[in-house]
Amino acid sequence: MSAILEARGLTVGYGTLAVARDIDFTVEPGRVMLILGPNGAGKTTTLLTLAGALRPLEGDVVLAGNSIAAPLHKRVKEGLAFVPDERGVITRLTVDENLRLCPGDPARAFELFPELHDHRKRRSGLLSGGQQKMLALALALSRRPKVLLADELSLGLAPRLVDRLLDTVSSAARESGVGVVLVEQHAHQALDIADDVMLLAHGHVEMSGPVSEIRAELDKVLASGYLAVSGNGTSHHR
């Protein structure tokens, strides 16, 4: 199957400061790629570069077979959806207004998260953190994207809500063929839905491959507490 998203020799960072180098991976339709790493490894920086919010310092991002340098709003038109680590909704607008502003299908959004229906007229900023994240993910998936980039869906949420969000991401991949790149702090839960995984640390890819092949080795890394600290203890890039 042809890749829907590729990173080719990607170096990511800010200005002239490289955070991670030589990143190579492919995402096929219907598969979930999980990016793991300690704080400071460049996970979010990589996701922002894939989304078009940051320019790569080196290398290429390839979307549906075409190298792309366009900004985020143009990549969205090409079938990419991005859920940032912040809530990802316009808080001064109601749920309905957010959905009307989005070029997606509101019925699809409520199909994914029926619990949002009771809050349609409520301003999004008054929703709970979990409800706001549901709305952000619903907005992204209501567009029926080819690729979903999701950064820390679980941030600050209870485990039950984390399961709910990750199950929705998994269903989008399995049932709708969406290619997914996921950055997630709840590593064990995310590994349960991931097909492929990449471990970033010390500015480069330390491990990558199908989860089924390297899960045991990854579980040892997770058990060591390695992902809880940055490579040098000083970096604030995620």
Q: Are residues 64 and 91 both part of a single domain?
A: no
Q: Which domain holds residue 114?
A: 80-144
Q: What's residue 228's pLDDT?
A: 61
Residue that terminates a domain, selected from 94, 119, 144 = 144
Residue 221 within any structural domain of the chain: yes
Residue 106 within any structural domain of the chain: yes
Burial class (CB in 10 A: 0-12, 13-18, 19+), 53: middle
**Number of separate domains in the chain:** 2
Q: Which helix (H) or strand (E) holds 96?
A: helix 95-101
**Separation CA 204–CA 11 (nearest Å):** 9
Q: Are residues 75 and 31 both part of a single domain?
A: yes
Place of tokens 């509101």: 106
Q: Six-digit token pair at 95? A: 């749920």
Q: Are residues 20 and 131 both part of a single domain?
A: no
Q: Are residues 73 and 84 both part of a single domain?
A: no
Q: Are residues 18 and 68 both part of a single domain?
A: yes
Q: Are residues 115 and 185 both part of a single domain?
A: no
Mean pLDDT for 170-189 is 95
pLDDT tens digits for 7-29? 999 999 999 999 999 999 999 99
Closest CA to 12 of 3, 27, 22: 22
Residue 168 within any structural domain of the chain: no
Question: What CATH number is associated with residue 65?
Answer: 3.40.50.300
Q: Are residues 140 and 214 both part of a single domain?
A: no
Q: Are residues 73 and 1 both part of a single domain?
A: yes
pLDDT band at 221 (very low <50, low <70, confident <90, very high): confident
Q: Are residues 1 and 65 both part of a single domain?
A: yes
Count other C-beta atoms under 10 Å from residue 115's C-beta.
11
Q: Are residues 9 and 52 both part of a single domain?
A: yes
pLDDT at residue 206 greater than cutoff 80:
yes
**Separation CA 235–CA 238 (nearest Å):** 8
What phi and psi, each to the nearest 5 degrees, are found at residue 7?
A: -110, 125
Closest CA to 80 of 195, 181, 194, 170: 181
Closest CA to 104 of 71, 64, 136: 136
Residue 159 within any structural domain of the chain: no
pLDDT tens digits for 74-119? 999 999 999 998 778 999 999 999 999 988 999 999 999 999 999 9
Residue 167 within any structural domain of the chain: no
Going across the sheet that includes 32-36, the strands are 80-83, 147-151, 179-183, 32-36, 196-201, 204-210
Place of tokens 């090409």: 78
Residue 39 within any structural domain of the chain: yes
pLDDT tens digits for 26-58? 999 999 999 999 988 999 999 999 999 999 999
Residue 161 within any structural domain of the chain: no
Q: Are residues 43 and 96 both part of a single domain?
A: no
Q: What's residue 79's pLDDT?
A: 95
> Is 34 within 8 Å of 149 (Cβ atoms)?
no
Residue 166 within any structural domain of the chain: no
**Separation CA 129–CA 124 (nearest Å):** 10
pLDDT tens digits for 108-160? 999 999 999 999 999 999 999 999 999 999 999 999 999 999 999 988 898 89
Q: What's residue 233's pLDDT?
A: 34
Torsion of CA 141, 192, 35, 33, to 10 degrees: -60
Q: What's residue 106's pLDDT?
A: 94
Q: Are residues 17 and 30 both part of a single domain?
A: yes
Closest CA to 127 of 162, 92, 163: 92
Residue that terminates a domain, selected from 93, 126, 144 = 144
Q: Six-digit token pair at 206? A: 């330390």
**Separation CA 94–CA 92 (nearest Å):** 7
Biggest CA-to-CA distance, the chain: 48
